[in-house]
Structure 1
């Protein structure tokens, strides 16, 4: 990036609130901050906290990093005993259940306004991930997504000049990429789908693989749960969407049957597959391998809208004991605002996060980076949240995908069985929320 571009970028961030005018002017307070950024992202988080403390002499944040699972185990008892941290980071797959259990306090519109936290600066579905029953409970600090990697060299070799964005384009490109050991292409007479040399797309049988099915269901206008928050992933729209993906394996032969993520990851790295849908977290790996690859938003294989799965982390304020210092809550909101401003979010992308807002996605820093290929559609990323019983929905859904993809069951039978099992589990889970 040139000096002039850096300067333009910095000015843009400052205009958009990158510097952040301090809104807390009360007495000096100390805040406890619990988060699970324990890997390569931890030094970035610690650097940001140090910067905040330096810029806010009347607020000092003391952070504790620990594994996410430890926080999920400890948070209910910490809240119940009146020892909750002032601020805690909760991920998208856990936040709704903690909200429903009363462990997280809502952020009122008046509080958000007073702290200069503007919902509109974030991607809409991302911010709403921490909403429940019409109230906001968190502000996004981090975001990841399911994307589609593509191997440029193999695409060029197979004569594919355009990254597919529709169902028809995706199927055609996948067929062009697929050849058996004798050189026959998918769809040609004599093609042997059990003896592939190269293939069009990677599908696989774990939870990450099922997120492609989730995306296709959303794209078709379906969902995982209905308005009553019961499992609902066996509607006609859902069956049709998942059937298309299963057909890529069983009918068209453009994906390997019952493969694993590890096997497909190796195949993509070795130039054996054109399209590898997976988590955006593999971007650094492919860059380090110096692969000639690109990153695209998941093709719209459904008929209604663009959609892909996304994960996220949100800054929340746990429920506190009676008589909790109102100054600490105001200071905590100041901390949340500062940590989620454009300048800090730009820094946080160094830790592997996607931009949480358009102001950061448009930064010249990302010019020419493969991951920028999905930036125009970051507003179409949807988390599996909004229902308190995430495990009771996602476990059976992932299993249903694996059974359909492997051919153990028909798509409809697999989804029907998954919904039946999910609703049994939800019925039990509801008792703990009453």
Structure 2
């Protein structure tokens, strides 16, 4: 898919070049304007074009402003006005404004895209507006989740993936010196820890079955993907969670709760810190938000590993441009700068963001800066990169269709299966029904 997109980008560049050659043959028309008018025109040509940029606080708002200020100071053609929106409703504000044609020129969007925005032709095709073959080819394979019908609609900032979090001190206390290498080993070890501790320590928790309900979507996607599940039949465009893979995956998750290995309600982040939880799975978020990294009280007591299984969840953050923008060249100039390989260390250091490039296709200087970041926390980066490498690009791309309905249905219904309120197949049938109705 990326090769076809690159061919389109090259063809677009050739057409532009031919158009430029044609215009050079036009007869020169003498400029009879006055000197004062000429000076005014020259001054106007040096004025920057202002574009509007709506961002979510992926990192500290002050840091985002510093980056935008840095861009504005070095750009001779573009001035960016920044508006940082809250996580609570920022996505909705962006979608509504862009759909109404009154939104920003450049804006935040999840790297997997939003199918409704693509289908409504609200996003600017980047390969037709300044992204070159060489620039597109630098991305790793996850870029396919930002491509629809050979059009690149998003410039990735960074990705996130699931990790396994381990309290190694607790595991050793109950006789486990090695980390589990499979989900079956997790279940066996967790059952032993829960039982031997008399329930004082929970052996394992699926994030989302605690106080952070939204996260059950991610936990479910990891297990579902590992069992070979797919969200959609892409030919019929129908939801397919009620499948053999879906039933097996959800039955496996349910067994942790039906057998008393895990329980509901307790915050996995808090319990992990306090020593009341031996293992759980979640994104790279707690590394920063919970300040696990650098916590003196936790030093030497914990570690992380890549997500278990053959596949799993990956998500991401990206920039898009509005198809209605009057200034596509200015938008692309800013997007390239903000998401460039040179800026990758910013996202890596601030949020452990997985950088989106194939480092073998970067310059020696760019690669060295990224490698330097990897050396700051080698165990964490090795785990994150391993999780991202085996993540399902297909599932990542499928998730854009019926996203909101799926998100809402899963976080409500998966829990109903785990706690036994509904049968597994009934849950999966209902998810499919709600997603299909939304599409």
TM-score strictly above 0.5? yes
Deviation per residue, 1:38-95 (Å, 9 max, x gap): 47522222222222223322322222222352453354455544x4422111125763
Corresponding residue for residue 8 of structure 1: none
1:151 maps onto 2:154 in alignment: no
Q: Distance in 2 between matches of 1:235 and 1:146?
A: 23
Higher RCO (CA < 8 A, seq sep 6+): 1
Corresponding residue for residue 378 of structure 1: 388
CA pair 33-350 structure 1, distance change in 2 beyond 3 A: farther
Q: Distance in 2 between matches of 1:155 and 1:33?
A: 51
Corresponding residue for residue 299 of structure 1: 308
Q: Distance in 2 between matches of 1:356 and 1:197?
A: 39
How large is the Cα RMSD of the aligned pairs?
A: 2.8
1:254 maps onto 2:254 in alignment: no
Corresponding residue for residue 44 of structure 1: 63
| Alignment TM-score, normalising by the size of structure 1 | 0.76
1:160 maps onto 2:176 in alignment: yes
Corresponding residue for residue 274 of structure 1: 278
Residue 101 (structure 1) shift = 2.2
Residue 289 (structure 1) shift = 4.1
Indicate conservation of the 8 Å contact 1:202/1:275, yes or no: yes
Q: Distance in 1 between matches of 2:374 and 2:65?
A: 23
CA pair 282-232 structure 1, distance change in 2 beyond 3 A: same
Which runs of 5 or more residues in structure 2 are unaligned?
A: 1-44, 360-366
1:332 maps onto 2:331 in alignment: yes
Indicate conservation of the 8 Å contact 2:161/2:387, yes or no: no
* Secondary structure at the counterpart of residue 200 of structure 1: strand
Q: Distance in 2 between matches of 1:310 and 1:376?
A: 11
Indicate conservation of the 8 Å contact 1:31/1:332, yes or no: no
1:122 maps onto 2:139 in alignment: yes
Aligned pair partner of 1:230 in 234, 238, 244: 238
CA pair 74-367 structure 1, distance change in 2 beyond 3 A: closer
> Larger C-alpha radius of gyration, 1 or 2?
2
| Alignment TM-score, normalising by the size of structure 2 | 0.76
Which runs of 5 or more residues in structure 1 are unaligned?
A: 1-25, 183-195
CA pair 333-57 structure 1, distance change in 2 beyond 3 A: same
CA pair 221-54 structure 1, distance change in 2 beyond 3 A: same
Higher helix residue share: 2
Corresponding residue for residue 90 of structure 1: 109
Q: Distance in 2 between matches of 1:247 and 1:39?
A: 35
CA pair 378-94 structure 1, distance change in 2 beyond 3 A: closer
Q: Distance in 1 between matches of 2:397 and 2:193?
A: 32
1:212 maps onto 2:232 in alignment: no
Indicate conservation of the 8 Å contact 1:53/1:59, yes or no: yes
